[in-house]
Chain A
């Protein structure tokens, strides 16, 4: 008999108060409550977190790597968006 399918969840952990939740991995669970419990057991055995998010993997939409150039290249020649583009005389000090 084939094993029944459990939905897939993406897990995000906030490691310390004030930091953002960060993707740590994924797991299978039947519902939100069991996904949260499984995420605690799987990803926070050594106090790695103070908060967990679980998101159904099917709810995540990703950009297409084939369109990477179209998505991100327009930003690469806009060096004027970076502070180092602007010259400040040395005697003005750190700015």
Chain B
């Protein structure tokens, strides 16, 4: 209980500091923040300057301004986009579904492939299959996701015509059809990480005495893996999967750019290019919050799922 409280307090503290960094970064920008906030030099008129100053409370000290911005953000008011002249919250709401769908499909792919290959690797430990899997996944993780994405488009969309070239699609099946390739591009790097953790965790469990005992009783290999190895090995695997999903939620920028998916990541890139600072701030804030909440949740839920950790905690 105390552990959970300190963990959550720590998360909130880090969140406050990082949101302050996101907010204050704008003031570190060279030049007058007013011109920076307006962005497009053509829009700089005395009226617009006065309007922006009032809107952003620029006459107040920085810390007060941050307080105002943060409290507004807390109740869901993220300001108005310069580019789209639309509330940022609305803008993000329209962009989120595509990003979430992309991450969901990618997660299914990397979990199935990563855990599957990891198990296979552990069972064939030291054999050719094992080294091939390690080498192949490491190699795949060394190719940048934008290169993988473009190769997939070239082969499966342009040459074979199996998938659309870009966009996120409408409706369930169409969206799935559109997002499979981007999801593969997003998932490839994660497969190496997850399969490595799975293999490691499985290998550790396989060398345990109780597994050896079960094997000597003649338990079928499949049952042995399911009942005695995987059951004890899945703690680290689950943690890693959650961490990867958390960073994926904030890591779709590149893949969305490659496949022209108008998700949150694409929104961020466009906002940077058009100096649409309220949008940049909001998207960064969203990504940092999501990442931190998910990682903290993993930390908190983990001992509930695995009693051994709780026991260890009590002892120390």
Answer yes or no: are A and B bound together in one complex: no
Chain B contact residues, CB within 8 Å of chain A: none
Interface residues of A (CB under 8 A from B): none
